[in-house]
Chain A
Amino acid sequence: QSVLTQPPSVSGAPGQRVTISCIGSSSNTGAGYDVHWYQQLPGTAPKLLIYGNTHRPSGVPERFSGSKSGTSASLAITGLQAEDEAHYFCQSYDRSLSVVFGGGTKLTVL
């Protein structure tokens, strides 16, 4: 049972927009701690996708965006491409548990 809750899977057709939610609690996301997102392509290490709720590291396409409100955060991907098929993980900080992750969401591009 992960501290942050993500849907196990989402899917979308090429060109569409998909969102992935990440729901925490008052001891982590609801306490004002930032949410960060990672993309893990098949067989590779995770890669930082979004940090500080909304910021993209250099090299990450503008198609990826993050938002946060209260205990919830979301990752949005617009103009879906086949290469976006991957697992996506959210991460935050918890007052008691330190660094915490969501269980991960598998994105399938139809």
Chain B
Amino acid sequence: EVQLVESGGGLVKPGGSLRLSCAASGFAFNNYAMNWVRQAAGKGLEWLSSISASSSFTDYATSVRGRFTISRDNAKNSLYLQMNSLRAEDTALYYCARDPGGYYGSGTYLQYWGQGILVTVSS
């Protein structure tokens, strides 16, 4: 069974940093591209970032480019999102999600999702 479990969320002050983790199990993690998606309370879904299976390629939404960094450790079956210069508008539930293949792109869809982790940016 595919499982994705996010961790590392919490309360952080504006301008602060946080690193989210996503522990994957139940599939060959090193064969799949991965994504981060967030959802503010009562709002829609916002794609944030994708990373290819081998970490060769990454992509970011305009709203987080230059502030967030996606990475992965295939030896640890883990996905990460380093979030710097956090703003109040970054407050949301953050999901990691698996792509159907090894490369993200025009064929990307979110095949499996974690349960989400809450990030709150407030002074």
Binding site for B on A (CB under 8 A): 2, 33-34, 36, 38, 44-48, 51-52, 57, 89, 91, 93, 97-104
Contact = CB atoms under 8 A, between A and B. Distances in A.
Interface of B: 35, 44-47, 50, 59, 61-62, 95, 100, 104-116
A38 B110 contact: yes
A34 B62 CA distance: 22
A103 B44 contact: yes
Nearest to A31: B106
B44 A102 contact: yes
A46 B95 contact: yes
Contacts of B59: 98
Contacts of B110: 36, 38, 46, 48, 91
B62 A46 contact: no
Contact of B35 (A2, A44, A51, A99): A99
Given A36-B109, A45-B113, A101 B44 contact: yes
